[in-house]
Amino acid sequence: MSFDKLNLIAPILKALKTEGYTVPTLIQEQAIPPLLAGKDLIGCAQTGTGKTAAFAVPILQILSQEQRNLKAPRTIKALIITPTRELAVQIGESFTAYGQYLGLKNTVIFGGVSQKPQTDALTAGVDILIATPGRLLDLINQKYITLRQVKFFVLDEADRMLDMGFINDVKKIISHLPRIRQTMLFSATMPPEIAKLVSSITTNPVRVAVTPISSTVDIIEQAVYFVGKKDKKLLLIHLLKDKAIASALVFSRTKHGANKIIKDLAKAEVQAEAIHGNKSQMARQRALNNFKAKKTRVLVATDIAARGIDVEELSHVINYDLPNIPETYVHRIGRTGRAGLGGVALSFCDADEKPYLKDIQKLIAKSIPVIEDHPYPLTTIEPAENKDTTKKAPVGKPGAIGYFRRSIKR
């Protein structure tokens, strides 16, 4: 199916073509028609499925077709709530790209920076507002924002909102919205509290589910290294000597851990930057931009900061620390292997993390191959469930990474 089969208007089709879009993803194909028809929608989709366009395109089309008194000030007609600054910025960029020929205005607001540029933009008038919960509530309380005219409400990454403790803020924001509106909720998982929220804010919603969370992208090659906790930094430095790792997103469980990884890599003369909640917005955006532009080969991130990172041609994801929530593993490795491209996901597992690995393998319903041939093996015995999947790196290759050496078509 092509985008012109979705009854999209010419300016949006032109913008999509300009941005290099050719055919809609599955969630776009399933979500755009009911949203154009005014239906509420619940979308279950993991990262990298194209869900931003799935809700942005219908909102832009409907708003552009409404008659607006050009002498009247612009009022907020669409509100998109998202958990992180990076994701808010990314969504704002998407609305700008898809609506470049429509004359609509959007702005992004988030905490951690001066509010004046944001309040100036709001005072000038916007049609679409993308916001993180804390700053939005703050500006509502300061009377800079009223949501009485909102016709479209999008709650993106709802499960992450819950993880980050934003759910009560979200409920407060919803209390400021008009009761008659079109509501869209997107979440990779549907925990009970989110399911309860869904039932309270939607009316006869259309449900769209794409790529269940338990299924990892098949084209991503996965492997695990059993390694001592103190040897992880040595293994990472060893693997990064392989130039086949063109770009690597390295996940740390904590902010402190991310900073320590950066210091260890710097001592080994490996250029890397970190992105996490303690970094200023300017520093986070600079690090992300450098990584996207391939000025930086390695980006170290925590899970919360990584939500919204969308990097084309990311060759490797490295789980320096295994996540204790198995769904998080799927989110992490989904940063590579996007748009049908290949990718590699490597995980380090110390003795304490073996239960996490077991939970991950249960969720994805497959055993992750173990790489034994590396310089820093864990001295304890590996779990029995992994024995039949053990792989050895080819002789002469630099450590176990040689097992995955290949040319990833981009």
Fold that domain 220-404 belongs to in CATH: Rossmann fold (3.40.50)
Q: Are 160 and 109 in contact, with CB atoms under 8 Å apart?
A: no
| Mean pLDDT (whole number) for 197-206 | 92
| Mean pLDDT (whole number) for 399-403 | 44
Of 19-23, 85-89, 277-281, 389-393, which range is least confident?
A: 389-393
pLDDT for res 190: 80
| Mean pLDDT (whole number) for 73-97 | 92
| Token pair 């770009």 in the structure block, residue | 247
Radius of gyration of the chain (CA): 22
Whether the predicted pLDDT of 280 surpasses 90: no
Q: Is 260 exposed, middle or buried (0-12, 13-18, 19+ CB in 10 A)?
A: middle
Per-residue confidence at 335, pLDDT binned at 50, 70, 90? confident
Helix crossing, 133-141 with 167-175: angle to 10°?
Answer: 40
Higher pLDDT, residue 16 or 314: 16
> Using DSSP, how many helices (H) and how many strands (E) does the chain show?
15, 15
> pTM of whole model > 0.85?
no
Q: Are 322 and 256 in contact, with CB atoms under 8 Å apart?
A: no
Per-residue confidence at 230, pLDDT binned at 50, 70, 90? very high
Whether the predicted pLDDT of 166 surpasses 50: yes
Q: Does domain 3-210 have CATH number 3.40.50.300?
A: yes
Domain boundaries, the chain: 3-210, 220-404
How far is Cα 373 from Cα 85, in angstroms, rounded to an integer? 40
Same fold, 3-210 and 220-404: yes
Higher pLDDT, residue 402 or 188: 188
Residues 6 or more apart in contact with residue 292 via CB below 8 angstroms: 311, 312
pLDDT for res 21: 87
Percent of the chain whose pLDDT exceeds 90: 56
Most confident of 179-188, 311-320, 395-404: 179-188
Average pLDDT, the chain: 85
Please report how many Cα atoms fall inside a 13 Å half-sphere around the Cα of residue 127, on the Cβ side: 20
Q: Are 368 and 391 in contact, with CB atoms under 8 Å apart?
A: no
- Overall residue count recorded for the chain in this entry: 410
pLDDT for res 309: 66
In 3D, which of 138, 206, 119 has the Cα closest to residue 176? Answer: 138
DSSP state of 377: B
